Chain A
Amino acid sequence: MATIDSHSSESETHDEHGHDHDHPAWLAHHFDTPEQQFDSGKLGIWLFLTTEILFFSGMFCAYAMFRMLRPEVFEGCSQFLNTKLGAINTGVLLFSSLTMAWAVRCAQTEEYKKLVVMIASTLSCAMVFLGVKSIEYSHKWGMGLLPPGSYFYDEANPHPTAQQIVDQHGFSESTAYFLTHSLYYLCAPFALLLIGVFAWLVWAKVTDNKFQYACAKPLLVVCLSFFGGVGLGMVLESGGGEHTVAHVDGDHGAADAGHGHADHEHAEDAHAAETHAAAPALDVESDDVAMELLAESDLNTGAKAMLEAKQAQTAMASGQVVPPGVEADMGIATVEKDVQTKRQAGVFFGIYYCMTGVHAIHILAGIGVLVWLLIRAIRHDFNRQYFGPVDYVGLYWHLVDLIWIYLFPLLYLIR
């Protein structure tokens, strides 16, 4: 103990510590040695990580339960998650873990410049992760891949306009606008942050505040990397070959679908006592080839259902008269029963948003503590006897990475 005390006071000569007692500023009164302080903190953070694991285990348990009960739903819905984006995000998080572990090393070896660079790179990776994530989220929200209750994905029209969301799915106009423009909403807080940090940087430069300037500079890079992540996500999302083909198919079907819907509506309204004239029947025939082609795919339940509905209508239209009060099967009633996934797919996406969302909240919290670390690192707060905060934040960050290591294959890689 004596050796440690002498050691620490010698390394502390530059510190302006006004008290009359002989411990360095970074060693709390109630600890005898720096090592004791470090070990107590470390036990504390391990206990915290234990509670974190138990907390996440609830969600993993829900996942396991639903996957056990409905494996086919998980297989089907996992196709909507872009493996490329997930893999890139895994790589980004792994790299941030490397820089974090390196930062801990730098704190221990008192390489101050490198420590700042490492913490800033960890922060930038966190922001890239969130940028890619917001592309994923906004893409899914626009397609209606949402938790049960709000889930409205339609195979025939995967990218509905705001007006269609209001008309066909019963959402309010503001909700529909949010769903179709969610990327802007997700980017807005980060854009504000970017502007704020830039203003701070300019102000620090003007007032010649060297310390604040040194803090704002890396933070500006960190804020910019969020938009780097958004750009990366956009490039990868649009480059997904299989995915786009599916969309083209869907868009192709969309025009037909709208047309078909109108037909159904019309048919239901008029089913009271109307003989369908030759006009709709002719229309049906010309569309049938395309519809049959679309319906060949097992996935395209929408097209299949529409084909059935149209065939039913053609049968109806062939000179049959339906008296009022008679239940006529126009085909539409069987449509939803065939799809059968609205609620179940919703459960998958409920679990998906819950798990990745809580994980993203942890990333945000990590960004918060890392910014605190960055500022303290610029202030040269850490030395080889006092690197605890860097180590603790590092442990937390690695845990967040650890959870993603399990989330990625469990959500994205189901066949």
Chain B
Amino acid sequence: MAAHGHSDDGTDFAHPMPLPVLFGVFFALVILTIITVAQASLDLGSFDIAVVMGIATVKACLVAGIFMHLIYDKPFNIIVFLSSFVFVGLFVIFTLSDSKMTSPSFEPKIDEPAASAEM
């Protein structure tokens, strides 16, 4: 069954993922999840967010590359997908720098007393 359709005669465009690869990726993802949860109890200081996002990105790459079949996909599809992250990056960076510069001027650091703020 596994040989079936796997470019046996060159006319088939289907590319079934071998099961061991799928299982391998799944277990890698589970192990990475356990590592993320475990590291939350360690104090890594300011590296914390970088470590968390790094692990999440490795997981995302595994899902996108293998489960979503991206590493065997047409280059154009890869470009389309990855280009979205370029725009997300621009969006987030500009918005963050803007809010960092302007927020203190109109954002009080402390809540008003309950009487005026609530209800």
Given A398-B68, A401-B63, residue A94 in contact with residue B80 (CB < 8 A): no
Chain A residues with CB under 8 Å of chain B are 3-4, 7, 34-35, 38-39, 42-43, 46-47, 49-50, 53-54, 57-58, 60-61, 64-65, 68-69, 83, 87, 90-91, 94-95, 97-98, 100-102, 104-105, 108-111, 170, 333, 335-337, 340-344, 384-385, 387, 391, 394-395, 398-399, 401-402, 405-406, 408-410, 413, 415
Q: What string of 1s and 0s marks CB contacts (under 8 Å) between B79-110 and chain A?
A: 01101110110011001100110010001001
CB < 8 Å: which of A38, A90, A109 contacts B4?
A109
Task: Please report the total number of B residues contacting A with Cβ < 8 Å.
Answer: 63
Please give me the residue from chain B that is nearest to A334 by CB atom.
B113
B45 to chain A, nearest CB (A): 10
Chain B residues with CB under 8 Å of chain A are 1-2, 4-5, 11-17, 19, 22-23, 25-26, 29-30, 33, 36-37, 40, 43, 48, 52-53, 55-56, 59-60, 63-64, 66-69, 73-74, 76-77, 80-81, 83-85, 87-88, 91-92, 95-96, 99-100, 103, 107, 110-111, 113-115, 117-119
A27 to chain B, nearest CB (A): 13
B75 to chain A, nearest CB (A): 12
CA distance A65 to B97 in the complex (A): 9
Q: Is the CB of B67 within 8 A of A97?
A: yes
CA distance A7 to B37 in the complex (A): 50
Q: Is the CB of B114 within 8 A of A342?
A: yes
Q: Is the CB of A406 within 8 A of B13?
A: no
Q: Is the CB of B80 within 8 A of A101?
A: no
Interface secondary structure of A, over-half rule: helix
CA distance A409 to B100 in the complex (A): 23
Contacts of A110 in B (CB 8 A): 4-5
CA distance A409 to B50 in the complex (A): 11
A344 to chain B, nearest CB (A): 7
A sample of 23 inter-chain contacts (CB < 8 A) reads A3-B11, A34-B13, A53-B85, A54-B91, A61-B95, A65-B96, A68-B99, A69-B103, A90-B33, A97-B26, A110-B5, A170-B119, A333-B113, A337-B111, A340-B110, A342-B118, A385-B14, A394-B68, A395-B68, A398-B67, A410-B56, A413-B36, A415-B43
Which 6 pairs across A and B sit closest by C-beta, in order of nearness? A336-B114, A108-B14, A50-B84, A57-B88, A413-B40, A98-B26
CA distance A408 to B52 in the complex (A): 10
CA distance A395 to B80 in the complex (A): 14
